[in-house]
Structure 1
Amino acid sequence: MNRVVLHPLASYDRAACETALTELLAPLGGMVAFVQPGQRVLIKPNMLAGKSPDRAVTTHPEIVRAVIRQVQDAGGEALVGDSPGVGSCVQVARKCGILAVVEETGARLVPFAESLPASHPGATFHHLELAREVFEADLIINLPKLKTHQMMGLTCAVKNLFGAVVGMRKPQLHLQAGSDKAQFAQMLLDLAGHLQPALSIVDAVVAMQGDGPGSGDPIAVGALLAGENPLAVDAAALELLGLEAADCWTQKIACAQSLPGAALTEVEVLGTNPQALRPRSFRPAKATDVSFGVPPLLRRHLRRSLSALPAIDAQRCSGCGLCIEHCPPTAMAMNKHLPHIDLKRCIGCFCCQELCPSGAILTRQGLLLRLSRFLFRAPQT
């Protein structure tokens, strides 16, 4: 069985975080079971964008602090790194509070800037280019924030590792997968299989619901999760939120391939029962695709009606142009001070929504997609 520990944590009080992390890792042998003296330990938080910690966009700095302290107490050298979606690593780390923690603890911030090729024989994506720091580290501790994700359904342990892809190579992978969410999910699974973090610790004290991962709403969950297998951690996280494997594309594809730890039946959840911490109501990401079988030719003709695509909220848009700059298929252009989306070229990756600082990108569902939950009983994703 793949062990995942679930432990309550009601706030980001510094002492409470340190105590909760110790208790969380105790059933797994503590941090000393993973970190040996002298090892270079790469801590990979979620640093999507430079937002304040209360927005629940990034891993909370007090969780990062507690992990750094335990790595150092075990004798390891703590390095903190990521490749943010918008802005430099230093800028984002400063705005989300992580840079201050790194400086106060004596850890080191390592911005992901240089890529090296990573060959993964047997994987669908045979060749990936990843940050140099992931190759130089002795082990990786994955530190995701529990959030909805408009394209994948959920971002947790598996999706957080996408940050090991540097800068503009992210849009290239989006383009390679195109509008095929299963293909993009497969790339994320291949990436997780290559990186194999030693430990994943999930910040679910305050999670994000709705239009995640950048524009959703914070929701108090009051939990930490930890485990060695990212898929098992994600399975437990879905159970915590009351969601199914079909609600998360990486989990859905992993279950179809019978990957170890993907199914909740293969996961032993230690500590607190997930139902005891489950939010009374949790708003998942909007469905973006109808999952029942529709012939490919018909799907192409009915694409707009069967799927969801981004739309601009003119009242919120500040005209900053970040969505245009970061659109993988270059399907956006400025028109009369507002972004215009060429829906024929749009691949539905929702990078624009993910990175919009104003929350001005909406999810517009097609008519058949909106009606599908009433007309069909097959699950949506």
Structure 2
Amino acid sequence: MNKISLKLTKTYDENEILKALRESFEFIGGLDSIVKSGDTVLLKLNLTGPFRPEQAATTHPVLVKMMVRLIKECGGHPIIGDGPATIKSPIKDTGIEDVAQEEKVPAFVFEKFQQVHLSDYSIVRDISYSTDVLQADKVISMPKLKTHALTLYTGAIKNMFGAVAFEQRKALHKYKTQEEFSKLLTDIFSVRVPDLTVMDGIWGMDGIGPVHGNPVNFGVLLVSRDAVAIDALSATLLGYKIDDVQMIGRASERNLGESNLDNMFIDDSCYKERILHTANLIPTLQGGLRERFLKLVLGKIQCDSSKCSKCSACLDGCPANAITMNPYPVVDENACLHCFRCYEICFHGALSIKYKKINS
């Protein structure tokens, strides 16, 4: 039976985090049962963009620092990496550069990739995948607990999307339904299933996540060898039904992890009473209903020129080439896929979604 440690942790106090991690690893069998002396251990963070830790969009540096120290205790050699959604490196703004310097470990954005050919796939067969992830002896995924405008929830499964080369990730956003995107996320997750997942749910996000939602003090830290199980429990704690978040079921169907909570051994017997937040979740509209709803209510993506730096990140990241700069971003409504990628990768928060007035 899969084990998940669920610790109630409200702050990023170093001593409190270290204590929670030690107890979590003891519950699942010990970190030293995963990390062996001499192992290169990649910490795959969620560094979606150059956001400050208090914005709750990225893996918190204190949690990363404590993981680095625990890996060193096991004789491992930690390295820190991710493939962000923006061209600008997030290593400094997120506080990870300070961790790397203090702990004397490398931290970097993925730049080397190799082609991976999948024999078992649903959407994408050939993937340009991070060489650093593939070559690491052990991979520890450290996702952030957040909502997501397309997949409803983003966590452990989706965290491995950052191991794909930037240009391919950009192109893959043409799959704009939750069903399609969930299938391709499962394809990507299957390339290198993490050896361990440490979910940062101490501060996370609700509303229109994963970057411009509302920071929320969920106060949970989740640890398991099974990333799919982490997602199943986390989505449930947010207030979603597991079936609402399609990538969880897809991954379970492909035997990449467990999605049935009854088959999990959770060290908090009261977890069913700990629904964290249900007030501001993404509506669970599926398939054609979601498409019709978006066409009905969504107007133009608008730009606040007082916030825009004209960095062109939105233009570079748009899979439909629907954006031009004049001199600020202008979105072609007819070409727009409503994939929300431009909104997601604007780390200045200059883009917003205008909603149409619906007459009753």
Aligned position for 2:172: 173
For 1:315 and 1:227, how far apart are their aligned partners in 2? 44
For 2:268 and 2:286, how far apart are their aligned partners in 1? 36
Superposition RMSD in Å: 2.7
Instruction: Output one character per residue of 1:38-82: Cα deviation in whole Å (capped at 9) or x when no partner.
Output: 011110011111111000011000000111111110111101011
1:103 aligns with 2:93: no
Are 2:178 and 2:287, in contact at CA under 8 Å, matched by a contact in 1?
no
What TM-score do the two structures reach when normalised by structure 2?
A: 0.90
1:112 aligns with 2:103: no
For 2:166 and 2:288, how far apart are their aligned partners in 1? 35
2:325 pairs with one of 317, 334, 350: 334
For 1:340 and 1:6, how far apart are their aligned partners in 2? 45
What SS does the corresponding residue of 1:261 show, helix, strand or coil? coil
For 1:155 and 1:316, how far apart are their aligned partners in 2? 30
Are 1:260 and 1:266, in contact at CA under 8 Å, matched by a contact in 2?
no
Are 1:316 and 1:359, in contact at CA under 8 Å, matched by a contact in 2?
no
Change (3 A) 1:259 1:117: closer
Change (3 A) 1:277 1:360: farther
- Tell me the CA shift for residue 131 of structure 1: 0.9
What SS does the corresponding residue of 2:219 show, helix, strand or coil? strand
1:360 aligns with 2:350: yes
Are 1:8 and 1:272, in contact at CA under 8 Å, matched by a contact in 2?
no
Aligned position for 1:136: 135
**Alignment-mate amino acid for residue 325 of structure 1:** D
What TM-score do the two structures reach when normalised by structure 1?
A: 0.85
Are 2:150 and 2:177, in contact at CA under 8 Å, matched by a contact in 1?
no
Aligned position for 2:302: 312
Are 1:290 and 1:306, in contact at CA under 8 Å, matched by a contact in 2?
no
For 2:332 and 2:23, how far apart are their aligned partners in 1? 51
What SS does the corresponding residue of 1:154 show, helix, strand or coil? strand
Q: How many residues align?
A: 358
For 1:310 and 1:36, how far apart are their aligned partners in 2? 52
Are 1:306 and 1:367, in contact at CA under 8 Å, matched by a contact in 2?
no
Taking the TM superposition and a 5 Å limit, the aligned residue runs for 1:156-305 are 156-175=155-174, 177=175, 179-254=176-251, 260-271=257-268, 273-279=270-276, 281-286=278-283, 289-291=285-287, 305=295
Are 2:228 and 2:252, in contact at CA under 8 Å, matched by a contact in 1?
no
Aligned position for 1:377: none
**Alignment-mate amino acid for residue 328 of structure 1:** P
- Name stretches of at least 5 consecutive residues in structure 2 with no aligned partner: none
Are 1:102 and 1:109, in contact at CA under 8 Å, matched by a contact in 2?
yes
Are 1:151 and 1:348, in contact at CA under 8 Å, matched by a contact in 2?
no
**Alignment-mate amino acid for residue 137 of structure 1:** A
**Alignment-mate amino acid for residue 144 of structure 2:** K
What SS does the corresponding residue of 1:81 show, helix, strand or coil? strand
- Percent sequence identity over aligned pairs: 27
